[in-house]
Structure 1
């Protein structure tokens, strides 16, 4: 019958929108993992001072803090499709500029532009994915996107090991997936009436409840940024302080990162089945318990890695569950504003994270790491369990 013809086509179109955004996330993660070691190694080969190489990395990481406030405005003016395509195109142009003008000033300007685009892509592709998935499978798909991101980021350095860091080959190899990203972004077209085109009502009460809920999510992003960065950078020192050798201390970070990559899929599935706010609270509670357990399992090999694995998954899971809840509760411009604030809070936590906790470790010893991280998540847990916060969440979920 004629009326049934459009249904398979509509389903295929929706499937491509989700798959296309996931492909963009994979490309972004691949180039993110590729660019950090590439710039460090390439600049080292040029005889650049180590502090300048560090500065080059820092200006890349600061991008979202500078550009973030403008993201919602740009989404409103350009739309996600054109904005994401432009970010891939600017990243492509940055590599092309290095290829054409092998000058140190160009390397720094290109790194800043590229770092800003990658950071903004991280935010805008999350917003886009939240807009095109259906709410029933939101947790599963957003969780899977986190695992996809981790896997593709892991592949970046492997790709660089094949291309090397000198000559034109690594630049050309980087430009190819970025060009594909431009083409894919432009090919994803919104359908009228789908989730990514919905607008929020202007009800003040709903807005107030939404902002109340968003406050806890932004706090979760900030604390996750602190905890995740501190663990990634200081966990090796914690292992050394407990008598592990360099290999064993580095392995702690690998196990922590593996937990980040694997457990977020399970957390997304659990959130879809058993409630997202409940999962967020449970995740915060497990993050507290697992990090506090570190001192008690460091001398027990059969317990150490499982505890570190669980800590990695739950600490990272708080970020993923926050993204899921934002997609569930916000639409249109509010989705862009809250998602951008969420990403900026995480980035701010990442920038702040290691320095004060490292200072506390110098003052009070290695146990300051798990205790400080656990204290932050305990504060979040208490905030989430407040009666007023629970009521606000329930109203926003109706």
Structure 2
């Protein structure tokens, strides 16, 4: 019998860390909102608190490749979990509004960089033959654990020491698990040194099409999740029906990314990426036609959610196939920063278009964005002479 193609704990341990990270991400957003609301502070301050968390990767991202090179991915991930644990402990020890905001910013930066660092770690640990399936499965795992986070908060409540303890326990487990995993030589750290770590600019130079896909995915995903309820209300749905639109879209994100990862391994990654962009365009264009049909609406939203999220997952797979060592860290971090930039912009420009042209601007503008992405992918991945630029379009 041939040996296992994957070092089991190196992959399973990183997947466990991704699950813990997703659980705490899903737990922390409603926890902070509810806990601060009970302190009777202004809603705009609660929104500011959430924004501090979301912008974390833009502050820490440029330094991640150098930090990975300096400390190693295992110790860096353990430190991110430990600092997040300390942020929750600070709230428990000093229940002051300033502490809540400083802790949220620190915690948000750690969670955002954990998302990127564990993604880099997993991409470096898996073998290329199974890369699509494992990366896709990690996306489904993340969505499932993120879903459990609010359920855990429902059990602990948002006040008192219990929710803080419930958050600190898995973070402590994350520290121990991260320290127990050893990277194989060349997975993330390599002997070439940090090289060019102007992260976003370097990532665009090396993988511009994939960085563009990340930006549009972040923008489209955030816009759909934020503005779909308004779209439903404009078409005569009640509040509950409008909220269900987001739930169906998110379910597609959770379920279909694993299928797309498997398809990338079987049918070819370039073809799957291009096909997914086409599906994202088609599903967005179909939404105005399906909104009046109970039979069509759920499948269209489900497919749209999977296609939009799948573009991000397929980008991660292609980056892992084409880059190693510090270049993997730099390009992956730039990819994540582009996604976060799109998420931060999110609903604002599309919301403005809705004000100007009506609610159909939501699906039409997203379809237009992904149509441009499809055209750019075709241009960027056309055959080139070898040695010009590392390519993200070659199927192994």
> TM (normalized to structure 1)?
0.92
Q: Deviations over 1:261-318 (max 9, x none)?
A: 0000110000000100110000000000010011111111111110110000000000
In structure 2, what is the Cα distance between the partners aligned to 1:248 and 1:13?
45
Q: Which residue number corresponds to residue 19 of structure 1?
A: 12
* Count of paired positions: 383
Task: State the partner residue of 1:92.
Answer: 85
Gap change, CA 1:124 and 1:303, over 3 Å in 2: same
User: Which residues of 2 match residues 115-264 of structure 1 at below 5 A?
Assistant: 115-192=108-185, 195-196=187-188, 214-264=207-257
Deviation at 1:228, TM superposition (A): 0.3
Q: Would the alpha carbon gap of residues 226 and 12 (structure 1) be closer, same or farther in structure 2, given more than 3 Å must change?
A: closer
Cα gap change, 1:212 to 1:275, in 2 (>3 Å) = farther
In the alignment, does 2:363 pair up with 1:370? yes
Match of 1:43 in 2: 36
Q: In structure 1, how many angstroms separate the alpha carbons of the residues matched to 2:300 and 2:52? A: 34
Q: Are 1:389 and 2:394 counterparts?
A: no
Deviation at 1:389, TM superposition (A): 2.5
Judging changes above 3 Å, is the alpha-carbon distance between structure 1 residues 268 and 103 closer, same or farther for their aligned structure 2 residues?
A: same
Write out aligned runs for 1:255-294 (5 A).
Answer: 255-294=248-287
C-alpha distance after superposition, 1:69-97 (max 9, x if no partner): 00011011011000000000000000000
Relative to structure 1, is the Cα distance of residues 391 and 242 closer, same or farther in structure 2, using a 3 angstrom cutoff? same
* Structure 2 counterpart of 1:206: none
Q: In 1, Cα distance between the equivalents of 2:9 and 2:321?
A: 21
CA contact (8 A) 1:285 1:381 kept: yes
CA–CA separation in structure 2 for the residues paired with 1:99 and 1:253: 34
- Contact preservation (8 Å) 1:329, 1:397: no
Please, which runs of 5 or more residues in structure 1 have no aligned partner?
Answer: 203-208
Separation in 1, partners of 2:367, 2:116: 27
* Aligned Cα root-mean-square deviation (Å): 2.1
The equivalent of 1:324 in structure 2 is: 317
1:310 aligns with 2:280: no
